[in-house]
Chain A
């Protein structure tokens, strides 16, 4: 079986929910924190991201926010989604990708948040 087919099969079989933050899909494991260290931020004091209704996350089977966020802002810890908003790259993917539109999203106030040096 080639790597692609294998990756697809493993991804389909991967366990859902509790604690699973990374699916072993045969892809390289990446420490996103190392990538985020290259990014300059001006940290806002309060989060610009919020879960509207935690009950919806509890009932959400797939929790795709644990995967599609390029900064791994969302983690599933102790039966709830935690939000590491300080690492947010402000792309907006979670706003569109959450199947229940359960993420309340605004830009960080003023000039806070990501400050790209290269762009």
Chain B
């Protein structure tokens, strides 16, 4: 007879570790299953971890967690072929505890975080792949099957936090295979540079950090973006776009990454660096419309597996953590009531609804589809803006009134006024 736990958590990422930590802290018997050698060895993200949601779980975690830098400066660069229009926000209010966000390297961070869950009493099983959910005759989820011999485990509830590549949910008929228009693939390099070089290039000192998101030419107009994040003695440099875009354009993701690194605005930042690691990962960007059922008899779904990503705000790991915490709280209540039915576990949905998680996912439900259906938004505007700025800032003796007329003509040739108004309306509708 297989062992039975209060809860099984599938996957040791931000959602799963959080669920296991919160459950163990509440005294539940919880097992956390991870396919990697250690939590983190199979995990990656761009690298921004928001403070608030982690602080909700381990208050003051920044004093002990392996973090890279705290973010004091966020920048958005709109790239054309040879120019960049940038806006940024440097805030020294974010230079002190409790901070706003950190850059992290997930192999280090997840390993540490999972250790904290183990310290609370969670049982961590690594090197094990979960292949499917076990169901009873009534279709209720009662456990998991793994790739180990006699590898079935039983539990009152299974938390599915398997990540973007949601094979378990699909194998269990809980989610269709995602369409390539709803999934992005991102590639990244960790590029080593001496601390003082990073400090000089990004105008920071100590553990201050900068994050740059780049659009337009960064992805050759595809739906996605490039990024440069500062770590202690390395940069995380990457680029991602929808899989459907790569299919259509027939570009290698790594080729796009090299293109981005060679852009005249990016090249000086990465110059002389040594590539220490190359990574790839999918990001579920379909948003609210593509989310699977988040609960059912005996199971809950968290994080990337649930499609909890708000791409336009670069948010994912924070949603994952909050969903993991709320899932754990739901299970604690269900355990108290001895009721693990879908009805009982629907409290998870209510909690998510009351939190920013579902409210934000609902607000941004149209963002990615709108950008995809309107390739001009990332295809035309970044380069157009740079053209306008370039001409406007070139002092060449043309009277300003004449210059304004020329620029207006330039803009309306590339995008007629009706198109401009429509695009503004579309983006407003998609974001607000």
The verdict on B262 contacting chain A, using a C-beta distance below 8 Å, is yes
- A-facing residues in B106-150 (Cβ within 8 Å): 106-110, 126-129, 131, 147-148
Complex CA gap A69/B247 in Å reads 10
CB within 8 A of A67: which of B177, B179, B183, B246?
B246
Q: Which chain B residues border A64 with CB–CB below 8 Å?
A: 246-247, 250
Which of these binds chain A: B2-10, B33-41, B318-326?
B33-41
The verdict on B255 contacting chain A, using a C-beta distance below 8 Å, is yes
CB within 8 A of A96: which of B217, B243, B256?
B243
Complex CA gap A95/B187 in Å reads 17
Residue of A at shortest CB range from B279?
Answer: A116
B164 and A116 contacting across the interface, CB-CB below 8 Å: no
Complex CA gap A73/B14 in Å reads 29
CB within 8 A of A11: which of B110, B178, B189, B250?
B250
Complex CA gap A25/B43 in Å reads 31
A35 and B189 contacting across the interface, CB-CB below 8 Å: yes
A92 and B164 contacting across the interface, CB-CB below 8 Å: yes
The verdict on A54 contacting chain B, using a C-beta distance below 8 Å, is no
B127 and A111 contacting across the interface, CB-CB below 8 Å: yes
How many residues of chain B are within 8 Å of chain A by beta carbon?
Answer: 63
Chain B: minimal CB distance from A69 (Å): 8
Chain B: minimal CB distance from A40 (Å): 8
Residue of A at shortest CB range from B182?
Answer: A96
CB within 8 A of B256: which of A22, A27, A32, A111?
A27
Q: Which chain B residues border A109 with CB–CB below 8 Å?
A: 129, 147
Also in contact, A107 and B35, with CB within 8 A (given A67-B252, A116-B277) = yes
A11-40 contact mask (Cβ, 8 Å, vs B): 1 or 0 = 100100000001101011110100110110
B255-286 contact mask (Cβ, 8 Å, vs A): 1 or 0 = 11111001000000000000111111110000
A92 and B107 contacting across the interface, CB-CB below 8 Å: no
Q: Which chain A residues border B177 with CB–CB below 8 Å?
A: 95-96, 101
Q: Which chain A residues border B221 with CB–CB below 8 Å?
A: 4
Chain A: minimal CB distance from B236 (Å): 8
The verdict on A89 contacting chain B, using a C-beta distance below 8 Å, is yes
The verdict on A106 contacting chain B, using a C-beta distance below 8 Å, is yes
How many residues of chain A are within 8 Å of chain B by beta carbon?
Answer: 51
Complex CA gap A97/B185 in Å reads 10
The verdict on A62 contacting chain B, using a C-beta distance below 8 Å, is yes
The verdict on B153 contacting chain A, using a C-beta distance below 8 Å, is no
Main secondary structure of the interface of A (DSSP, over half): loop
Complex CA gap A95/B262 in Å reads 30
The verdict on A72 contacting chain B, using a C-beta distance below 8 Å, is yes
Q: Which chain A residues border B81 with CB–CB below 8 Å?
A: 2-4
Q: Which chain A residues border B244 with CB–CB below 8 Å?
A: 97
Residue of B at shortest CB range from A93?
Answer: B185
Q: Which chain A residues border B251 with CB–CB below 8 Å?
A: 11, 23, 25, 27, 67
Q: Which has the most chain B C-beta neighbours within 10 Å: A7, A68, A107, A119?
A: A119
B205-249 contact mask (Cβ, 8 Å, vs A): 1 or 0 = 000000000000100110000000000001000000001101101
Q: Which chain B residues border A14 with CB–CB below 8 Å?
A: 250
Q: List 20 A-B contacts (CB under 8 A).
A: A22-B255, A25-B249, A28-B255, A28-B259, A39-B277, A39-B278, A67-B252, A91-B280, A93-B243, A93-B280, A93-B282, A96-B178, A97-B246, A107-B167, A110-B147, A115-B37, A119-B40, A119-B41, A119-B106, A119-B110
8 A-B pairs closest in CB distance? A119-B106, A119-B107, A92-B165, A111-B127, A70-B280, A35-B278, A68-B246, A64-B247
Residues of B within 8 A of A (CB): 35-37, 40-44, 81, 105-110, 126-129, 131, 147-148, 164-165, 167, 177-180, 183, 185, 187, 189-190, 217, 220-221, 234, 243-244, 246-247, 249-259, 262, 275-282, 383
